[in-house]
Amino acid sequence: MYAVRLWSVRHARGLHAFYGGFEALLVQLNGLFRALGYERIERPTAAVEKVVKGLLFDCRMCGQCVLSSTGMSCPMNCPKTLRNGPCGGVRADGNCEVKPDMRCVWLEAYHGSERIPGGVESMSKLQLAVDQRLQGHSSWLRVTREKSNARASP
Amino acid sequence: MKFEDEPVPGYPLPILPGHTSPGRFERVLRAGGFAVTTELAPPDSADPEDVYKRARVFDGYVDAINATDGSGANCHMSSLAVCALLTRVGYAPIMQISCRDRNRIAIQGDILGGAAMGVCNMLCLTGDGVQAGDHPQAKPVFDLDCVSLLDIARTQRDERHFQSGRKISFAPRVFLGAAENPSAAPHVWRPQRLAKKVAAGAQFIQTQYCYDLALLRGFMDQVEALGLFGKVYILAGVGPLRSAKAAEWMRNNVPGMHIPDAIIARLSGARDQALEGRTICIELIQAMREIRGVSGVHIMAYRQEESVAEIVERSGILQGRSPWYPERDAPQYSHRTAAS
Ligand code: SF4
């Protein structure tokens, strides 16, 4: 929902901190997830993730979430799905070139990122081309698995 | 400037140390010249002569010619084809690649194909939304964005493989560019975005129209503060405004266009508005040349392409040099008189 999405950006700090804790918890649960089988829990987790993040961020389930480096403003809501910053067409009032009634998601992203640790610097990370195969998959589980694996083999 | 190793038209120049392309445009910039580029509006036609006619009006006045890729989301002859035609006779095109219409499979293929046909410069763009053009019913692709596109193009060149990891046996030798809009919101963050493009592989930048010099100066100061001078060549975008009415229209309809009221007022007060528009453009160019870090200008004169020669001439930015064009070094028989 658009209004909730804007609220989320205004509360980027809290959401960012909350997600940090949540992610740590997921990584703790890696053993359990592995026992259950990541493949088996993928669908239910993705369903929950879609509802929660859909509500908060209008999440599009790209499967490779970058909200922590976009000030909690989902870049997949940009009509051009830009993941590295705003296009040159942002309107003078800060609204989107393509959808004149929507704030440019990247303007929101800058405001959001000013509220989270790391600040706007967090946005300077290059986001490489998305893997379209991950569309619809759980980003939470992917991150959990990657972080757990990285921890297991330092 | 004239290079001793000037090639047969259509053949690449030898590649100089430290250069990534065999092109003239990169040479001019790296030699410290103030470069002039312009834009060719691709024809709505399959006649190659329509491309050559449009290129000839720039002869002797520009270092490179951008071939737009469905700019404004309007359909025209493809950028790749325009470039291929131009390189056949030796022109130095800048092939624009937009992410709007093609996915990474098509784009990477075009980068190889363009380079194989002698295209030395490529400009990686996001592209205007389809709603802006003549086919709003089309499917926008946007598989990549301009930054991930730059990264992929650079990988093809420097690491010799596709995004998939598959090897490329002969890398495309290209000079890579991107666009930036110093006049669009969010102004304070635009330079950061530029830094990202440079990190991804941009070696030159052509900006959108800059009618507000204060904005451009502020932008360049920040670019310098980010330590980007020396890492990227920046060409400032300009163009003649035909009339106050046209300027007003552009301001309201062209995405990302910012024209200060003062310029529109000056146009509407002029007796010959088109002439005034060119004069404003020339004054902007002369002022841009004085801005630290600006390495050239990109003159976009849509539907007034023939005015580019006059603008370059009157502004004096070439300082007597004559950029290469197909007949430049041919013997000048026309100047002979019966007596000689
Ligand atoms: S204005 Fe912002 S949201 Fe709209 S297309 Fe451009 S970057 Fe995306």
Residue B12 lies in a domain: no
Contacts of A123 in chain B (CB under 8 A): 192
Output the pLDDT for position A30.
Answer: 87
Return the residue whose CA atom lies nearest to atom 4 of ligand 1. Answer: A96
Interface of B with A in 104-163 (CB under 8 A): 104, 126-129, 131-132, 140, 142-149, 151-152, 163
Confidence band of A151 (pLDDT split at 50, 70, 90): confident
pLDDT greater than 60 at residue B337 = no
Kindly state whether residue B2 falls inside one of the protein's structural domains: no
Nearest CA to ligand 1 atom 8: A78
CATH number, domain at B328? 3.20.20.220
Per the structure, the complete domain to which residue B247 belongs is given by 24-339
CB-closest option in B131, B152, B184 to A90: B184
Specify if B271 maps to a domain.
Answer: yes
B104, B181, B195 member nearest A129 (Cβ) = B104
- Residue B2: the pLDDT is 62
| pLDDT interval class at B40 (50, 70, 90) | very high
The whole-number pLDDT of residue A145 equals 87
Predicted confidence (pLDDT) per residue in B104-117, tens digit: 999 999 999 999 99
* B288 inside domain: yes
Burial class (CB in 10 A: 0-12, 13-18, 19+), B213: middle
List, for residues B129-158, the tens digit of each pLDDT value: 898 899 999 999 999 999 999 999 999 999
For chain B, say whether A126 makes contact (Cβ under 8 Å): yes
Cβ-Cβ contacts under 8 Å, A127 against chain B = 147-148
Pocket test for ligand 1, best of A76, A105, A107, A110 (most atoms within 8 A of CB): A105
Which of the four pLDDT bands, split at 50, 70 and 90, describes residue B218? very high
**pLDDT band with cut points at 50, 70 and 90 for residue A153:** confident
Q: Does B3 score more than 80 pLDDT?
A: no
Averaged pLDDT for residues B246-251: 94
Binned at pLDDT 50, 70 and 90, residue B175 comes out as very high
Token code pair at residue B196:
């990202």
Asked whether residue B16 is domain-assigned, the answer is: no
Using a 10 angstrom Cβ sphere, with 0-12 exposed, 13-18 middle and 19 or more buried, the burial of residue A18 is: exposed
Instruction: Provide ipTM, 2 decimals.
Output: 0.88
Question: Which of A71-75, A133-137, B44-48, B333-337 is least confident?
Answer: B333-337
Q: Is the CB of A118 under 6 A from ligand 1?
A: no
pLDDT in tens, A114-136: 888 877 788 888 999 999 999 99
| In-domain check, residue B1 | no
Residue B12, pLDDT score = 67
Residue B202 domain-assigned (yes or no): yes
Contact A84 CB / ligand 1 (< 6 Å): no
Find, in chain A, the residue whose alpha carbon is nearest to that of B259. Answer: A92
Query: Ligand 1 center to residue B127 CA distance, Å?
Result: 11
**CB of A97 sitting under 6 A from ligand 1:** yes
Question: B-chain residues within 8 Å CB-CB of A102?
Answer: none
| pLDDT tens, position by position, A59-112 | 999 999 998 888 899 999 999 999 999 999 999 899 999 999 999 999 999 999
Whether B278 is in a domain gets the answer: yes
Ligand 1 pocket check for A86: Cβ under 6 Å: yes
Looking at the structure of chain B, the number of domains it has is 1
| Nearest by CB: A90 against B127, B148, B256 | B256
Using a CB-CB cut-off of 8 Å, the residues of chain B touching A79 are 129, 140
- Calculate mean pLDDT across residues B49-61: 96
- A118 has a chain B CB within 8 A of its CB: no
pLDDT of residue B340: 42
B286 CB within 8 Å of a chain A CB: no
pLDDT above 60 for B10? no
